[in-house]
A and B are shown apart, each in its own frame.
Chain A
Amino acid sequence: MPPDTLHERITDYANRADPYPLYAELRENGVTRQADGSYLVGAYHDIAALLHDPRISSDSRNRTDPNTVPPLRRGGRPAAFIGFDDPEHDRLRRIAMRPFGPPHSPRRIDGLRAEIGRISDELIDGLRDRGRFDVVEDFAHPLPVTVICRLLGVPHEDVPRIRAWTNEIIASLDLSPGKARESREDAGLEARQAIGTYLGDLADKRRDDPSDDMLSALVHDSGPDGHLTRRELMATATLLLIAGHETTVNLITNGVLTLLRRPDALRRLRENPGLMPGAVEELLRYEPPVHLLPQRTPLTDVEVSGVTVPRGSPLVLVLASGNRDPLRFDAPDRFDPTREDNQHFGFGGGVHSCFGAPLARLETQLALRALLPRLEGFRLSEDPPPYRHSPILRGPRHLRVERASGT
Chain B
Amino acid sequence: MSSDPRSDLRSGRVVIVGASLAGLRAAETLRDEGFVGSLTLVGEETQPPYDRPPLSKQVLLGRTGAADVGLPGRREIHADWRLGVRAERVDRVGRRVVLAGGERLPFDRLLIATGTRARPWPNAAEARLDGVLTLRTSEDAAALTARLDAGPRRVLVIGAGFTGSEIASACRERGLEVTVAERGPSPLVGALGGTLGAFAAGLQRAHGVDLRCGVTVTALTGRHGQLTGAEFSDGGRIEADVAVVALGAVRNTEWLAGSGLAAGPRGVACDAGCRAFDMYGIVTDDVFVAGDVARFPHPLFEYQMLALEHWGNAVAQAEVAAHNMVSTGPDRRPHLAVPAFWSSQFGLNIKSVGVPTFSDRLVIAQGSVREGRLVAVYGYRGRITAAVSVNRAKWLEHYRHLIETAAPFPPGRGAADRPESAEPVPSDVPDPRLLTHGPTVALTGHLPDRRLTMVRRPSPPTVAGRP
Contacts and interface: CB of A to CB of B under 8 A. Distances in A.
A86 B389 CA distance: 14
Contact of A49 (B373, B375, B395, B401): B401
B395 A54 contact: yes
Contacts of A302: 414
B416 A55 contact: yes
B367 A52 contact: no
B315 to A, nearest CB: 15
A178 interface: no
A300 interface: yes
A53 B417 contact: no
A57 B416 contact: yes
A90 interface: yes
Tell me which of B368, B401, B414, B417 has the highest count of chain A C-beta atoms within 10 A of its own C-beta: B414
A82 to B, nearest CB: 14
A217 B54 CA distance: 29
Interface string B393-416: 011011001000000000011111
A48 B394 CA distance: 12
Nearest to B344: A103
B395 A351 contact: yes
A66 interface: no
Contacts, number: 55
A402 interface: no
A85 interface: yes
B367 A86 contact: yes
A42 B430 CA distance: 46
Interface residues of B, number: 21
A52 B415 contact: no
B331 interface: no
A54 B416 contact: yes
Interface string B414-425: 111100000000
A353 B397 CA distance: 13
Interface in A61-95: 85-87, 90
A75 to B, nearest CB: 23
Given A52-B398, A350-B397, A299 B415 contact: yes
A299 B373 CA distance: 20
Contacts of A86: 366-367, 373, 392, 416-417
B371 A87 contact: yes
Interface residues of A, number: 20
Interface in A341-392: 350-351, 353
Contact of A299 (B347, B365, B375, B416): B416
Tell me which of A52, A299, A300 has the highest count of chain B C-beta atoms within 10 A of its own C-beta: A52
Interface string A286-312: 000000000000111010000000010
A149 to B, nearest CB: 29
Nearest to A45: B401
A53 B397 CA distance: 8
A90 B416 CA distance: 11
A55 B367 contact: no
A53 B398 contact: yes
B417 A54 contact: yes
Contacts of B395: 52, 54, 350-351
Contact of B367 (A57, A87, A350, A353): A87
Nearest to B393: A351
Interface in B110-140: none
Contact of B394 (A57, A224, A298, A351): A351
A344 to B, nearest CB: 16
Contacts of A350: 394-395, 397
A85 B394 contact: no
B397 A54 contact: no
A350 B365 CA distance: 17
A316 B373 CA distance: 28
Contact of B414 (A55, A224, A351): A55
Contacts of B401: 49, 52
B345 to A, nearest CB: 13
A53 B375 CA distance: 13
A298 B414 CA distance: 8
A54 B394 CA distance: 10
Given A49-B398, A53-B398, A350-B397, A87 B417 contact: yes
A55 B413 CA distance: 8
Contacts of B367: 86-87
B397 A85 contact: no
Interface in B413-450: 413-417
A224 B346 CA distance: 13
A8 B92 CA distance: 68
A350 B393 CA distance: 9
28 contacts: A49-B398, A49-B401, A52-B397, A52-B398, A52-B401, A54-B366, A54-B398, A54-B415, A85-B416, A85-B417, A86-B366, A86-B373, A86-B392, A86-B416, A87-B367, A87-B368, A87-B371, A87-B417, A90-B391, A90-B392, A299-B414, A299-B416, A300-B412, A300-B413, A300-B414, A350-B394, A350-B397, A351-B394
Given A53-B398, A86-B417, 4 more contacts: A52-B394, A54-B365, A87-B417, A299-B414
